Amino acid sequence: MAKTSSNAKLHKAKTEKKDEFYTQLNDIENELKHYKNHFKNKVVYCNCDDPLASNFFKYFFLNFKYLGLKELITTCYKSQNFREFSAEDSPKKAYTIKITRDCEVDMIGSSSELLAEIEKLLSLSLSNSPTQSEETIEAFEKNKHKLKSKTKQLKADKPKNKGQSLLPIFEDKNLDNAGDFRSQDCIELLKQSDIVVTNPPFSLFREYVSQLVEYKKKFLIIMPFNAITYKEIFKLIKDNKLWLGYGFKSGNAYFEVNRKSAGDFANGVYDEETGLVKFRNVTWGTNLDIKKRHEILETINSYAKMPKKYPKYDNYDAINVDKTIDIPMDYDGVMGVPITFLDNYNPNQFEIIDINPHFFTLVEQGLPKIKQLTLKNANKKDPYARILIKKRPLHGAHSVGSKPSEDRK
């Protein structure tokens, strides 16, 4: 019940563009540490992130020089800062912030002094920008006393080329979609970018990924694990155009939430002490090459020695494997494995054939779709979901997909 309630709330919030769920900085750091070599001289776009609230913006802002970024772009639907800046009755404008190499920002002191300093810089930019309305400036003046007064100052290098870092973004005609990733302004910013990194709206996940693929963008995004079973997403995984990142501990993500929404969650989902909401079965999806994607899965199990451990399906020529660690390395036929196998998937070691119960590949080939795999052993329950795989001959470590990442070194 708690799981259903929390996921329903997440989807509802994202559908209404009231994205009140914020990824924790340590979760971003734990994942992004594996991708450093991909970001040098790149334009990073966080297109679902209010910079006054988003830890994605914070991470790239603080690591701009360390990663060697060329430019950082972030857009938000509306100012959603639940901490201090925007009062409930203040105007909330859609805007984008660009930080370029020509106006680098250096931190004085350690990078652990984070949010207040960034908010101070951005808020001052908001109040001074000629692109903002008088109402926005007045809202800042009204609320600026809430900012911490004794924070170390940020020192900005003098820009080589004068240009605005804060820009308005507008809605498409009569659509009220300013800041929406599907709006024309945001698509134009997407075209300028190299890599997209964010936590997108789960309810629009198919459409969101489809846009990234359409514009041939590299990406690293948070995704619901069950998105693997979506037809469009599974095809990308099968074709080695999307794979899983390193993920969250035990598959659980803890998002920050506006405490005013705490009453909307079931018992055990929201932690009053931390202000975090727990969501299960969440992971990272990417098309950036990483070390884990080339690691060989090794098990000690044998089909020849324990054939009864691997019953065959009575309606598909394959054996059932209950756990990834139980995959028999001496079996060359098709195997049905749990979808969690994708956490260990090496495209050089295994080929993905299809997925049960959807069987997208069979449908595409014009063959009859099987409703559900069933086992010959009557005392065994039918597996709910299985990815059908087959071993590849290992001709070398990097024969399929992208070249090995420097993350491997």
Please give the model's pTM, rounded to 2 decimal places: 0.78
Task: Write down the pLDDT at residue 190.
Answer: 94
Instruction: Report the candidate in 244, 282, 286, 288 with the shortest Cα–Cα distance to residue 387.
Output: 244
Distance between CA atoms of residues 140 and 127, nearest Å: 6
Please list the helix, strand and coil fractions of the chain in percent, rounded to the nearest 5, in that order: 35, 20, 50
Task: Write down the pLDDT at residue 143.
Answer: 47
Domain ranges within the chain, ordered by starting residue: 2-292, 295-397
Task: Write down the pLDDT at residue 165.
Answer: 59
Q: How many residues does the chain have?
A: 409
Task: Write down the pLDDT at residue 375.
Answer: 85
Neighbour count for residue 180 (Cβ, 10 Å): 23
H-type helices in 193-329, by residue range? 205-214, 231-238
Residues paired with 320 in a beta bridge: 336
Task: Write down the pLDDT at residue 267.
Answer: 67
Asked if 353 contacts 388 with a C-beta cutoff of 8 angstroms, the reply is: yes
In the chain, what's the furthest Cα-to-Cα distance? 77
Preceding peptide of 357 cis, ω within 30°: yes
The two tokens of residue 124 are: 């001052």
Task: Write down the pLDDT at residue 319.
Answer: 95
Distance between CA atoms of residues 254 and 248, nearest Å: 9
3-state secondary structure of 355: strand
Per-residue pLDDT 10s for the chain (409 aa) are: 344 444 454 444 444 434 457 898 899 999 999 999 999 999 999 998 877 678 898 888 888 888 999 999 988 775 544 333 333 333 456 767 777 776 534 333 333 343 454 455 555 444 444 444 455 445 444 544 443 333 233 333 333 344 445 566 777 888 878 788 998 989 999 999 999 999 998 889 999 999 999 999 999 999 999 999 999 999 999 999 999 999 998 778 888 776 655 556 666 677 777 778 888 889 999 999 999 999 999 989 999 999 999 999 988 999 999 999 999 999 999 999 999 999 999 999 999 999 998 899 888 888 888 888 888 765 566 667 899 999 998 644 444 454 444 454 4
